[in-house]
Amino acid sequence: MDRAEEKMRAEGLPEVAIETFASQLARLAGGEQGTLPESEIEPVDSLPDAEELPDDPDGAREALDAALVLKLNGGLGTSMGMSRAKSLLEVKDGLSFLDVIARQVLGLRERSGARVPLVLMNSFATRADSLEALSAYPELEAGLPLDFVQGKVPKLGAHDLEPVEWPSDPKLEWAPPGHGDLYISLAGSGMLDRMLEQGYRYAFVSNSDNLGAVLDERILAWFAREELPFLMEAADRTESDRKGGHLARRPGGGLVLREIAQTPEEDSDAFQDVSRHRYFNCNTLWIDLRTVASQLAEGVLELPMIVNRKTVDPADPSSPAVIQLETAMGAAIDVFDGAAALRVPRSRFVPVKTTEDLLSLRSDAYVIRDGPRVELAPERGGVPPVIDLDSSFYKLVPDLEERFPCGPPSLIGCERLAVEGDVRFGSGVVVRGSVRLEGPREIEDGAVLEG
């Protein structure tokens, strides 16, 4: 344990991060497994509904003056073959995620007259490119730095829980601590104090790859009026969400977030039962910054721990086994007294985790509305197309773009597109209904595929 603290201190990490990791390591050494069995939770039967919240323009105006938008922007999109910030990907009409986000914030300012800063939580790997991209929007300047950088933690030997050494590539000795690091990095970077000093109280937090997550003034007004310390947006779970983190209750009534990595193998079926656990975490949060500051002033924020077992070199399964300790930012729902969750429509959850998501979002199945808001085209009736692409040919962004050189096909009338093998699409292709294609094959320009 002392070696881990020494290593973090030598790296120049803030004391609040060192104390938090030391506490987690002590819990791990004491036998905590980072699991949450089904026997310790109960399903959540119902939640307040965002679509039933009252209009409160006066409350919204007042709260907006103390609100900011915070985007998690640390991901490189390596699973999609990227080597720079995922948020720099073009997603719609020549715009990247960051372009859309910047315009959303500037549009909100113009409509409301409020200052509403945009702040990114970057990683060391995403910072330079992301800040350079935002330099195209000098009007974003609002008195706060545009970003702060998330921390890192030592990888631990799986057998002795000591920090691993990997001289051939010392960077691999460190791991990201999960987005639960938000609270620690806010405080350790000094950003939390600056926000409070400038009168900000409410942070709207979401992933930069979820363009459906925009600051909703009715939710903000309700959050402020109810004086909630923490609010999680949750949506109805479908079969496609079976492996995403879900909401549950402690037997005493408090809400808790459970991730699949925290679920014992014997409870896997219960975890994936969407009729039992009805709501999934959108990873979109509303946070009272004063609550975060006061909680951290009392000591370490003891978020539920996720114990990930990997190898020190992820690309080499024969390298030494390690443990990476992570936390999820939504897990704070189990920590802040009075924390709540709110049922929101699926339109507030438009993430891009795969090239299939990217293809769908780039297509005419989604449109950009004023704001700008990215949402399903009205003709879709609120249901996105199901895209299933052969991972051997489409998993990486360069591979996807090579096979759709003229852009995505029209998917506005598509129920499902399944592609097996190497299929290349010409321009102006239209997909309707449920279509299955097998390659190798070329789809000619202007083809109409119907199922």
**How much is the pLDDT for 294?**
95
Last residue of a domain, one of 348, 379, 408: 348
Pair 270, 313 in one domain? yes
Domain of 112 in residue numbering reads as: 2-348
Nearest to 134 by CA among 207, 73, 191, 76: 73
What is the per-residue pLDDT across 400-412, written as a single tens digit (0 to 9) for each?
A: 999 999 999 999 9
CA 43 to chain centre: 23
d(CA 162, CA 190): 29
pTM for this predicted structure:
0.93
Tally of CB atoms within 10 A around 225: 15
Pair 331, 378 in one domain? no
Whats the size of the chain, residue-wise? 451
**How much is the pLDDT for 79?**
79
Pair 365, 266 in one domain? no
Pair 265, 363 in one domain? no
What angle, rounded to 10 degrees, do the helices at 57-64 and 217-225 form?
Answer: 80
- Averages of pLDDT over each 10 residues, the chain, 451 residues: 90 94 93 90 96 95 97 87 89 93 96 96 93 97 94 94 95 92 95 97 97 96 97 91 90 90 93 94 97 92 90 92 94 94 93 93 92 89 92 95 96 96 97 96 96 82
CATH code at 363? Answer: 2.160.10.10
Nearest to 291 by CA among 225, 202, 221: 202
Last residue of a domain, one of 317, 348, 379: 348
**How much is the pLDDT for 279?**
96
Nearest to 155 by CA among 269, 302, 287, 319: 319
Pair 328, 372 in one domain? no
Q: Enumerate residues 6+ apart whose C-beta is below 8 A from 211.
A: 91, 92, 97, 100, 101, 350, 361, 374
Phi, psi of 279, rounded to the nearest 5 degrees? -125, 135
Pair 390, 291 in one domain? no
Last residue of a domain, one of 348, 381, 408: 348
Residue 172, token pair as written in the block: 């691999």
| Total domains in the fold of the chain | 2
CA atoms within 13 A on the CB side of 359: 33
Pair 77, 190 in one domain? yes
Pair 223, 267 in one domain? yes
Pair 399, 278 in one domain? no
Pair 181, 255 in one domain? yes
Pair 394, 338 in one domain? no
Q: Enumerate residues 6+ apart whose C-beta is below 8 A from 23.
A: 300, 302
Pair 35, 147 in one domain? yes
**How much is the pLDDT for 1?**
57
